[in-house]
């Protein structure tokens, strides 16, 4: 049981029971950034971190079914808030922010001004993640709701045509391939894919021919990421949670395109 936890300048301190490995369950969109952050934490404090990445809704199910974790870092606030509401975890903190962007196939004549027109075009294939299982899919639905305010009937059209290509238990993406490049350039299942801007940047790095389109002002959706400590989290888990919130931790997250809570 943890008896004390705190942050003094750049030094993290805690007292109480400890363990040598922290288990961190986190949204897949955090995989690159939290992997680097975990390495930095281990190098500085000598505490190993076991990372479990999955879609946030599926992680919530796993934790509710009894899988052990010290920390749950979600791509939304709703999934960790649910765990806190049923007394499985501590209060939730909004530890980082993301935004939604559009990823488009090469040579498609698209920009922020005509993005909605193309998304509504029956000839354009639109990809999203799966609502209720992956917050990215829920954020896409929020984009559709905003589109409805611009053009009546948009929500129904976009909801019906959107292909839920990610967010399911079994991913069809071959190991080692960027998921957006795979669906857009290889299988051609999507011409436009709505996803996090951080994921879009990684997709562009993997496949420079792809295009990243910023959403027009009326369609902008911000993704607030929530973190919660699970019941019976170790003191080492508390240290990692504090490190994620520290200036050093936030700098690493910001390097990958997240909006830091320090900014």
- 200-258 residue pLDDT tens: 999 999 999 999 999 999 999 999 999 999 999 999 999 999 999 999 999 999 999 99
Task: Delimit the domains of the chain by residue range.
Answer: 2-97+225-260, 98-219
Tell me, what's the pLDDT at 11? Answer: 37
| Options 1.10.8.50, 3.40.50.880, 3.40.190.10, 3.30.70.20; CATH of 2-97+225-260 | 3.40.190.10
- Residue range 98-219 forms a domain whose CATH class is alpha beta
Q: Secondary structure of the chain: what % helix, strand, coil (to 5)?
A: 40, 25, 35
Q: Alpha-carbon distance 193 to 128, whole Å?
A: 6
pLDDT of residue 20: 76
pLDDT of residue 171: 73
How far is 156 from 40, CA to CA, in rounded Å?
Answer: 46
Query: Can you tell me the distance from the alpha carbon of 13 to that of 74, in angstroms, rounded to the nearest whole number?
Result: 25
- Collect all residues with Cβ–Cβ distance below 8 Å to 166 and sequence separation of at least 6: 55, 127, 128, 129, 130, 134, 136, 137, 173, 179
Tens digits of residue pLDDT in 142-180: 999 999 999 999 999 999 999 999 988 777 899 889 999
What pTM, to 2 d.p., does this model score?
Answer: 0.87
| Residues in CB range of 109: below 8 A, 6 or more apart | none
């Amino acid at each position: 049981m943890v008896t004390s936890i705190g942050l003094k300048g750049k030094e993290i301190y805690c007292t109480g029971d400890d363990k040598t490995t922290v288990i961190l369950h986190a949204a897949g969109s955090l995989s690159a950034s939290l992997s680097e952050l975990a390495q930095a934490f281990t190098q500085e404090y000598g505490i190993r971190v076991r990372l479990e990445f999955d879609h946030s809704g599926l992680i919530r199910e796993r934790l509710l079914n009894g899988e052990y974790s010290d920390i749950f870092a979600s791509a939304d606030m709703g999934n960790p808030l649910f765990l806190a509401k049923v007394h499985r975890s501590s209060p939730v903190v909004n530890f980082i922010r993301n935004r939604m962007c559009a990823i488009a196939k090469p040579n498609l004549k698209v920009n922020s001004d005509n993005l909605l027109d193309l998304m509504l075009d029956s000839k354009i294939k639109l990809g999203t993640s799966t609502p209720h299982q992956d917050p990215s899919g829920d954020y896409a639905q929020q984009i559709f709701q905003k589109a409805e305010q611009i053009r009546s009937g948009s929500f129904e059209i976009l909801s019906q045509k959107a292909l839920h290509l990610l967010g399911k238990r079994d991913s069809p993406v071959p190991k080692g391939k960027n998921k957006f490049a795979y669906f857009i350039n290889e299988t051609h299942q999507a011409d436009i894919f709505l996803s996090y801007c951080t994921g879009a940047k990684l997709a562009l790095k993997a496949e420079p021919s792809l295009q990243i389109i910023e959403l027009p002002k009326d369609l902008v959706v911000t993704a607030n990421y929530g973190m919660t400590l699970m019941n019976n989290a170790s003191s080492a888990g508390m240290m990692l949670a504090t490190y994620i919130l520290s200036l050093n931790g936030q700098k690493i997250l910001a390097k990958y395109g997240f909006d830091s809570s320090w900014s």
